Structures are given as C-alpha cells and as structure tokens.
Amino acid sequence: MRVPESSFLSVTELNNLLKLKVQSDPSLHNLVVKGEISSWKSYPSATYFDVKDERSVLSCLLWASEYIYLPFEPKIGDEVLLYGYLDVYANRGRYSLICQKIELFGQGKELLALEALKKKLQSEGLFDESRKRSIPEFPSKIGMIVGNGSAAEADLLKNLQRRWPLSDLYVFPSLVQGKEAPKDLLRAFKLSQEYPLDVLIIARGGGSNEDLSAFNDESLCRAVSNSKMPTISAIGHEIDFSILDFIADKRVSTPTAAAEMATPDVNDIRQELDDCFASLSSSLIKNVSSCREKLNSLSNRPFFKNPASAYHEKIERLREHETRLNNATDNALLLKKNEVSSLKTHLEALNPYSVINRGYSLTENEDGKIISSAKDVKEGDRLSTRLKDGIIHSKVFKE
C-alpha cells in the first residue's frame, strides 16, 4: 500500500519542527541545570562538553565570548550549575544546552553573597583609596596576625629581623582557616589594638577560595577598617583576593612582600649613611682647604705682616686732612675779615658823623629830622646842631 506524500514528514521537516517547538517553549528558556562535567573540548569559537548525572548525559555548548568571563577554569569531574537555554541543531537532529554562565555547584550562593558584601562595603567607602594610610618609614613596633607556627609566621619573623632588627615584633597567633577562623582572627585583631603598634600585618600562605574565606568575614573586615594603626594584608598569592585585601591600607601577595613593605632594609640605611658620611667628609675637607687658602692669602697681606703700617697711613691722611682744613679755615676767615673791613670802610664813608668829623655840622629838629634847607624850619622851632666836638641847641627867630 502506497502512503501519500502528504501523510509523512521528512527528516529535515521533523528536525525543524522540533527546533521550532523548543525555541517557542518558554519553559526551555532561562534553564538552570545541575550536572557533572564528563567531557570538555575547547575550540577557538566554542567549547563543547557533556554533563551527566546518575542516569543521563546532556550535550552542552559554550561560546568563546562567554568562556572568557568564567570565574574559574572548568575541568572534568566538576559538579556545576549551568545557566542557559535549550536549542536544536536541525542538521543532526541533536539538541544541546547553550550555556551563558557556569558556576561550581555549592559555591554559587557563596559567591553571590561574597559579591553582595563586597558591593555593600564598597558603597560605604571602605575600599576608598582616600582613607588608606601610609606605612611609617621607620617602625619601632610591628605586629603580625598569623597562623601559630605557620610558614607565614616563620617567613615574616626571618625577613623582619633581617631587614630591620631595630623594631620590636609582636605575634598574635590565630586560626587562619576553618569554621572558627573568623572569630579567632577577630579576637587576635582586638588584642593587637591594645598595643602601641606602628603597623599591623595580617598574613597567611596561599590556598583555595574556601581556605581564604575567613578573611571575607564582615565583622573582621569592619574591625580592620577601624584599626588604630596602618594595616598590611598579605593573604594568599597574586591571583587570590579577599575582601580584607580591599579593606587594608596596603595589600601584597606574600608574607615576604609584607616584610619588605613594612620595613626599610638596614643594609640600605647603612649604605646611605656611609654615602652621607663620605659626602660630608669630602665637603668638610674642601671647606677646610678653602678656608686655609683664604687664611694664607690674608696672612700675606701687608696689614697682617705689619699692622702698624695701616695706622701710619691713616694718621698721615688724617694729618693731611687736618692741614688742609686749617688752611681752608684760615683762608675763609681772612676772606670774611677782608669783606668785613671793606663793608666797614663803605659804612664809614656813608656815616654822617664822619662828615661832621671833617668840619661839617648836622642840624636836626625836635623830631630828629635832618634840616637840609631853610624852608624846613619855621619861627619858634628848636633845633640841634651836631658838631665834631659837641651839640649846639638853638631856636628859630624871625628877622
């Protein structure tokens, strides 16, 4: 019996129909699937992998543009949460989960909570560089919170004592990982605040994110943000960061680096002092030599060989000025004397009494007015005539 063509589907039609059904079903969008990675193959454009559970396997695809944002490097055996949507590859009739994000199962909530705490503290300004303090250049008291007997403790003690043996070291042992670590770290920190430290180092070696989780504790981070002294965080390695790293005044990747940041190198200080001493000695020698040359030059001057000669010269010059002053004074007095004599002669020539002495007379009325004409008198006027040897008083009569 022949089946009519209208009653069957081709393979392509069925696969396209399935693809359309999958794409149009909202329940197959925004999926979160849990499984264990069982295969992993990366290519330049995309990564193809499978996840499985106890009974099934699911094919997955992760585009390269999403891969670069993964917070970790997935590997076979990881139990993960896959976020994405279902799609059908019609040419092969296969469906896959198109992944947009991958998280390690069990850490998803923790990572979200950690990110939320980080944003919260950042919004409060606890990460701001403006509140960070500088480390004292020459600390005399250095504190450290480290695991008791840990490699970090040994590293810090060795390097701090080597670099700056002048400082006193205070060790505050604490648990640095595990359930009780946050509480014990907070206890050690509060104890450190009772001491007059110049700087406090909080350190441990590297470890997984879980190992470092104690340093993400909110109470500990807030306490450190209010530390009385500057703090240095030396937790984990270069690729590992904890919230405490953002809170501390300075962050380094290893305990050795913390020791180097907290202290100067005594050998460098010695070398610098030696250089300063050498420079000062050289400068002092040059100054002494210069002063000696100046002294020799001065000592060869005539004054220092015969000090009296300088005074003799001054005395001679003084005597010369005295002679010149006396001569000038005498000349000035003589000139003035001649001027006075000339004026006297001139005045005597103009003095009416001088005329009288030569045989003339001077007649005045009662008012002292000189009579120079008969018209200047009238009958009855009394007159005084001055001669060289006396005065004649007379009265005017009419003839």
323 belongs to a structural domain = no
Instruction: Give the pLDDT means over successive 10-residue stretches in the chain (399 positions).
Output: 65 80 84 92 94 92 91 87 90 88 75 83 94 96 96 95 96 94 97 97 82 90 97 78 93 93 94 93 92 85 71 83 91 90 81 64 80 78 80 80
Looking at the structure, do residues 91 and 176 belong to the same domain, yes or no?
A: no
Same domain, 67 and 183: no
Percent of the chain scoring above 90 in pLDDT: 53
Helix (H, G, I), strand (E, B) or coil at 226: coil
Please identify, among 53, 73, 106, the residue that sits at the C-terminal boundary of a domain: 106
Identify the H or E element spanning 168: strand 168-173
Question: What per-residue confidence (pLDDT) applies to 113?
Answer: 78
| Same domain flag for 36 and 85 | yes
Number of domain units in the chain: 3
232, 264, 296 - which closes a domain: 264
Measure the CA–CA gap between 105 and 82, rounded to whole angstroms: 9
**Which tokens sit at 45?**
């454009």
Domain CATH for 98: 2.40.50.140
Tens digits of residue pLDDT in 359-392: 667 788 888 788 777 777 888 788 788 877 788 8
CATH number of the domain to which 259 belongs: 3.40.50.2300
Question: What integer pLDDT is reported at residue 354 of this predicted model?
Answer: 65
Query: What residues make up the domain containing 386?
Result: 353-395
Strands 46-52 and 390-395 turn out to be: unpaired
- Tell me, what's the pLDDT at 267? 93
Q: Are 90 and 180 in a shared domain?
A: no
